[in-house]
Amino acid sequence: MSESFDFLKDHTLAVYSATWCPDCQRLDRWMQEKNLPHQDVNIDRVDGAAEKLEQETGKQAIPFILVDGKTWVRGYHAEERSRFSESKLVAELRAAVGDGLRS
């Protein structure tokens, strides 16, 4: 794992996604480039995954990352032209694991 992502080393990341989703593919490529271990939860294949996502986030959008089975972080940034911001995602992941004080 890259040194800048050491704050995630003791945490589990479950990415709720679908194969047909371009934002999901973008996030998956990024996570692979950064060597971030994660579990893929395909909402089309895992029974109840889409319902869990919607019930707990209030959204039907993907990708979302469930951190340690309790905190949801969005894996897309609709407000960005590219629909992805590494700095926003990293800040949200840091906040999710209680590491928001370090940069």
Sign of CA dihedral 48, 86, 10, 73: negative
- CA gap 4, 19 in Å, rounded: 28
Per-residue pLDDT, averaged over 21-49, amounts to 96
Per the DSSP assignment, residues forming a β-bridge with 41 are 16
Q: Tens digits of per-residue pLDDT, 42-82? A: 999 999 999 999 999 999 999 999 999 999 999 999 999 99
Q: What is the pLDDT of residue 8?
A: 93
Q: Give percent of the chain above pLDDT 70.
A: 93
Question: Does residue 101 form part of some domain?
Answer: no
pTM of the model: 0.91
- CA gap 4, 1 in Å, rounded: 8
Question: Does residue 80 form part of some domain?
Answer: yes
Domain that holds residue 51: 3-96
Residue 46 main-chain phi, psi, to 5 deg? -95, 115
| Number of domains into which the chain is organized | 1
Q: What is the pLDDT of residue 99?
A: 73
CATH of the domain at 52: 3.40.30.10
Q: Residue 17's closest CA among 84, 80, 65?
A: 65
